[in-house]
Amino acid sequence: MKKETYSIPITPTAFNRFQLNAVNILKTNATAWGIPPEKMTSIDKLCATYEKAYMVTANNETQNPLATSARNRATENLTEALAEIYNRWIMNSVLVTNEEKQSLYVGYKAGRGAAAPAPRTTPIISLTCEEISMLHVVFTDSASAMANSHAKPANVAFCELWYKINASPAPDLASECPERCNISRSHACIVFEIEQRGKTISGFSRWVNKNGKTGPWSNRFQGIVP
């Protein structure tokens, strides 16, 4: 089985090329793809900080340890913001064509060698509120819940969430949930619209491994959008 995937480069030069291409395409298509204006405003600010820090380190005469540290922090912040947009508005979107996804370096990946088996465990999801209109997704694997570990199981790429907003009654099956997002690390956040504040989010989650194989659905999780 093939699964859509992407990777964000970590070396300075490769990341700079990646972000220049990605941000330009996202700006051009943000409205058509349903990316909220405030998300692109945030990307603009992060890009300005990153590009200023990158230019300092790219110049041998101005490069220094403090500048490198500033560039690394800016890179991490921009990487996290881009990953959120990819996971929320690109990877599972029917609005983005295959050609457009390819321009964003989204492709298909099949496991090399012996394919890892499908996950057998399920995520245990907790939703925490720390900022307005945002919920942080904290996951624990059902097999290691007693150890209070927030690490993904071996060979798992991300946690896939299917959910519904303000459903009454709450969904009984994942197939009843129209909203989807991928969470690659525990404590990553889902951003909601202003009008969704105070509404209930209900859904299900499952592990997806690096070969694109999916595990069983979890029990239903639920929370309130702050």
Q: Which amino acid is at 15?
A: F
Query: Do residues 109 and 155 touch, judged by C-beta distance below 8 A?
Result: no
- 200 vs 1, higher pLDDT: 200
The three-point CA angle 146-147-153 to 5° equals 100
Domains observed in the chain: 3-108 (no CATH), 113-224 (2.60.40.10)
pLDDT at position 108: 55
Mean pLDDT value of segment 86-102: 87
CB crowding 30-69: b at 16 or more within 10 Å, else e = beebebbeebbebbeebbebbbebbebbeeeeeeeeebee
16-40 average pLDDT score: 92
pLDDT digits 0-9 by tens, 169-214: 999 999 999 888 888 889 888 888 889 999 999 999 999 887 778 8
Residue identified by tokens 């907003």 is: 165
3-class SS at 184?
coil
DSSP 8-state secondary structure symbol assigned to residue 31: T
pLDDT band at residue 115 using 50, 70 and 90 as cut-offs: low
Q: What pLDDT, in 10s, does the model give residues 41-60?
A: 999 999 999 999 999 998 88
What's the confidence (pLDDT) of residue 3?
Answer: 63
**pLDDT confidence bin for 72, thresholds 50/70/90:** very high
Distance in angstroms between the alpha carbons of the first and the last residue of the chain: 38
